[in-house]
Every structure is written in C-alpha cells, then in structure tokens.
Chains A and B, each alone.
Chain A
Amino acid sequence: MVGIVIVSHSKKVAEGIKDIAVQMADKNQRIIPAGGTADERIGTDAILISKAIEEADTGFGVVVMVDLGSAVLSANMAIELLGGSLKSAVKVADAPLLEGTLSAVIRASCDGTLDEVLNEAVNSRHALKL
C-alpha cells in the first residue's frame, strides 16, 4: 500500500488529521504524521519529514500531504535527503491537507497506485461542502 505522510506546521494538526484519516483506512495502511519541529515548535523540519517518509514506505511509494509555504519547501528538501530508489517514489500532493489526506488514504487502502493516490488527493480540492 502507498504510504501517506502528513506535514503540518503543527504537531497537533498532523496527529489530529491522522486520527481522522485512520477511521477510513485499512488496518495495514501506514499514515505517518510529521508536524512541527523536532523540538515541538510551530514549523516544519525536513529531517523529521525524511524519516517519516522512510517509515511510511512499504515498497509502493509515499504521497506527502502538506499545509502551507515552508511545508512544501521542507517536503521537497526531505525528498532530496532520501537515499536510493525511494527518492523517485515520493510525490508531494498539491491538495488541501485534511480533505486531501482522507481521499489519499481511502485510495491507498484500496491498493491504489502512487499516481492514483496522488490524483485522488489533488482532486479533493474540488469537493464542495455546501
């Protein structure tokens, strides 16, 4: 199954979104939160994200969900820091964090491919609430 990493400036947000997403996920689905900095401030940390990506991967690649600004920069940096073949099997989704994570997790739990999971996440931006 494609792994999911949740990057937010806030550790609580990343963990909270994971808690919501887990309800919809297969029990073997890996969803790894990577929120805040290593010393638990508001911010993002490429090294932390890099470790989360390694933890999320089971050989099918990883989709990284991001919130704002530096989350994107840190996620891209994290991918560069990865070694070997994993680097080319990680995609950052240009998607809303909560809705995108839910869509990605559902598709991944149904054995979606890396591209299918990524597309599902990206398309979640069109979901209407009212």
Chain B
Amino acid sequence: MNEVIYEAIEAIRTMIVKNKQYLTDLDSPIGDSDHGINMARGFDAVMLKLENSNDPDIASVLKKIGLALISSVGGASGPLYGTAFLRAAVPAQGKTDFNAVLVKDMLSAAIQGIKDRGKASQGEKTMIDALEPAYEAFSSGCDNGGTLLECFELASKAALEGVEFTKKIIATKGRASYLGNRSIGHQDPGATSSYLMLKALTDFCSKKEGEANDGRNCNCIAQQESC
C-alpha cells in the first residue's frame, strides 16, 4: 500500500466529515440538502475499500477511490468526483511518488473529467468555479519552479476565491438552476467541497514537509521537481 496516498485521502475524509453539516447546510437553500451527508458517506466507503488493499502504484489506488465514490455518494457529486479520480489515475499510471508536475497533470485530467461528465464550464456556479482557477494557480506555480506545497497553497487560495465568486452568480447547472435568480447570494456546495479537498491536501503537504524538515523520514512529498 502506498502510505502517502492513504494518508492524503484520510486527510480529505477528515476534512469532509468535519464539514459534513456545513456542506449540507449550504446545499439546503439551493439544493437537496444532502451534499455533506453524501460526501462523508462516499469517503467512508473509500476508506473501507482501501483498508486492506496493497496497491503498488498511485493509479490503482485512485481507480479504487473513484469507483467507491461512484457507488456510494448518491448525488451528482458521485459520478463527478468519481470520474475525476478515475481520470487522475491516467497520468499516475505506474507512478509511486508525488511531485508538482505529476499532481498538475492529475489535476488537469481530473478537472477535464468533471467537465466532460457534467458538461459545465466556469461561471455556472459549480465545482468548476473553484477547480479551474485552482488548476491555473497550481500550474503557474509549477511552471515557476514551485514546490508541491507552494503549488497547493496557490491552488487553495484560488479555489477559495472561486467559492466566493459562486455567491455572486446564477446557477445554470444542477438542482440549483431550478431556482434561477434566487440562487444568487448562495455559495455553491460543490465548489466548497472542491476547495475543502484542496485545502486538506495543502495542509497534509505542509505537515509532511514539516516532518521532513524535522529530519524525520519522508521520501515522498517534499521533493521538488520543476516543470
């Protein structure tokens, strides 16, 4: 089992579970009041599926995560995030260590997967409004030779700005689109969960880098590789 990816996913699960009520509350005025519940259930299923697995490469783990989300979430975020993880597995094929370039490619594939599945583009009050700016920020950080942590920090910041932006716009995709103008003023739950996942990975990366600087053994995440 690839320990780092297991710990990273556990960090995402913890973040989602901690924000379960918050995500569900955001989903209540403009959706079907289940986003936090669905996401928490999804990541619980992911952890169960990974419990006794011993996959050598990142791609096999990502595929398991994707399928677990698809079969357990129940809402639109199941096929959307499920597709994201399945697509992220493509550039990770045969890879066992993370670096900024690989994560950039994984993010790119994941976001394209979400766009293909949901047929959404930026400005429609969806997770894309957090993810697309996050990818652009990550990518430019990577092109400037940033470490994985630096790239994640840029991505999280951009995602949070994207989440704020969703308050100002009308939903034209998903259940919130039934509300039309009344969706203005509400923050999109999907964009929020996307931000929370990136934030969890940023915090995880920061923790790992701290551990590596403390002289403890971490051969995985603090490595720098420029684009």
Contacts and interface: CB of A to CB of B under 8 A. Distances in A.
Contact of A47 (B71, B80, B83, B174): B71
B116 to A, nearest CB: 9
Interface residues of A, number: 18
Interface in B96-144: 117-118
A43 B79 contact: no
Given A69-B76, A73-B80, A45 B71 contact: yes
Interface stretch (A12-20, A34-42, A98-106, A111-119): A34-42
Interface in A78-124: 81
Contacts, number: 56
A44 B74 contact: yes
A6 interface: no
A69 B79 contact: no
Contact of A46 (B34, B38, B82, B118): B82
A42 to B, nearest CB: 7
B168 to A, nearest CB: 23
B71 A38 contact: yes
A46 B72 CA distance: 9
13 contacts: A37-B74, A41-B74, A43-B74, A44-B74, A45-B70, A45-B72, A46-B70, A70-B74, A70-B78, A73-B117, A74-B79, A76-B117, A77-B83
Given A45-B70, A77-B70, 20 more contacts: A41-B74, A42-B74, A43-B34, A43-B78, A45-B72, A46-B82, A47-B67, A47-B70, A47-B71, A69-B174, A70-B74, A70-B76, A73-B76, A73-B80, A73-B118, A74-B78, A74-B79, A76-B117, A77-B79, A77-B117
Interface of B: 32, 34, 38, 67, 70-76, 78-80, 82-83, 117-118, 174-175
